[in-house]
Amino acid sequence: MRLLFIGDIVGRAGRAVLLSTLPDLRRRWALDCVVVNGENAAGGFGITESICTEILEAGADCVTLGNHSFDQREALVFITRQPRLIRPINYPKGTPGAGTALVETPDGRRVLVANVLGRTFMDAMDDPFVAIDEALDACPLGQVCDAAIVDFHAEATSEKQIFGHYVDGRASLVVGTHTHVPTADHQILAGGTAYLSDAGMTGDYDSVIGMDKEEPIRRMTRKVPGSRFEPAAGPATLCGIAVETDAGGRAIKIAPVRIGGRLSQARPEFWDI
């Protein structure tokens, strides 16, 4: 299967490059499943129903979230009626929404998508390792699902690496989100799981993790706030990871994706035509 994961959409600039690029990528690369992290899509904080719908209509099969899942209060309501929008599985019991989705491809294959929140330097949540065990045990790779994608939304690279090795062999892809900086450690682990510490953001990189530079600089250097954070509005880079799997759902190819904006460009040579 051909899988594409796209990192955190930040504000209007991130949405613009996604909406203008994804439909063509979906067609040209003959993608089977596309997952997009949308937790910063609405003004840099959270997601709205209309934005979620835009992302899905552009070609995403599932939208994942993170620690900003409910910054837009309407998400508390519409997440319960949109099964393709998922929040971290290890939120406390009773939190609206679900932490997994089982996506069916046009040819009838099934992809498990799971969203998990790390705990190092983050708000304390339920144990992510127990949560992912339950999700993967309920939907084993190669038996109930043909591929499994895990978005591990976390701060510390060490925690992300530990999580990747812990899940190795039970998922097609474990990809980190949250830090908004793409890492260069894409690899296929010993058990056949594709891994990347952070997919990076889909946003304007002439910024501080997607936000207009002036306010973060002011707060860091003068230790006083001046105004609210606003997403940077320049040309954005779409960042993500491309993975191809075998018939059993194990990864056999992996490559970074960076399209548009300021960053050096990268596309999977094994797909690009």
Tens digits of residue pLDDT in 53-81: 999 999 999 999 999 999 999 999 999 99
Average pLDDT over residues 170-187: 98
Identify the CA nearest to 116 among candidates 128, 127, 124: 128
> Which helix H or strand E contains 24, and what residues bound it?
helix 11-28
Cβ-count burial of 41 within 10 angstroms (0-12 exposed, 13-18 middle, 19+ buried)?
buried
Three-state secondary-structure class, residue 36: strand
237, 47 in Cβ contact below 8 A? Answer: no
What value does the mean pLDDT take over residues 21-27?
Answer: 97
First to last CA, the chain: 17
**Whether pLDDT at 115 is above 70:** yes
pLDDT over 80 (residue 116):
yes
pLDDT band of residue 225 (cuts 50, 70, 90) is confident
What span, in angstroms and rounded, lies between the C-alpha atoms of 214 and 227? 10
Confidence (pLDDT) at 227: 87
**How far apart are alpha carbons 162 and 152 in whole angstroms?**
11
pLDDT at 8 over 90: yes
Note the pLDDT tens digit of each residue in 198-210: 999 999 999 999 9
Is the pLDDT at 29 greater than 90? The verdict is yes
* Backbone CA torsion sign across 12, 8, 260, 273: negative
Q: Is the pLDDT of residue 273 over 70?
A: no
Percentage, residues of the chain above pLDDT 90: 96
Q: Provide the CB-side half-sphere exposure for 159 (13 A, CA).
A: 19
178 as an active site residue: the answer is no
Give 272's pLDDT tier (boundaries 50, 70, 90): confident
Total-model pTM: 0.97
DSSP 50-94: HHHHHHHHTT-SEEE--TTTTSSTTHHHHTTT-TTEE--TTSPTT
**3-state SS assignment for residue 156:** coil
What is the per-residue pLDDT for 224? 87
3-state secondary structure of 136: helix
The whole-number pLDDT of residue 248 equals 96
Average pLDDT of the chain?
97
* For helices 11-28 and 49-57, angle between their N-to-C axes, nearest 10 degrees: 20
Q: Which two tokens stand for residue 251?
A: 């990864």
Q: Which is catalytic among the residues 68, 153, 178, 180? A: 68
Please compute Rg for the chain using Cα positions.
17
Closest CA to 149 of 125, 132, 124: 132
Please report, for the chain, the start and end positions of each structural domain, with discontinuous segments joined by +.
2-259
Q: Work out the pLDDT band at 95, boundaries 50, 70, 90.
A: very high
Nearest to residue 86, comparing CAs of 95, 242, 198?
95
Q: What is the CATH number of domain 2-259?
A: 3.60.21.10
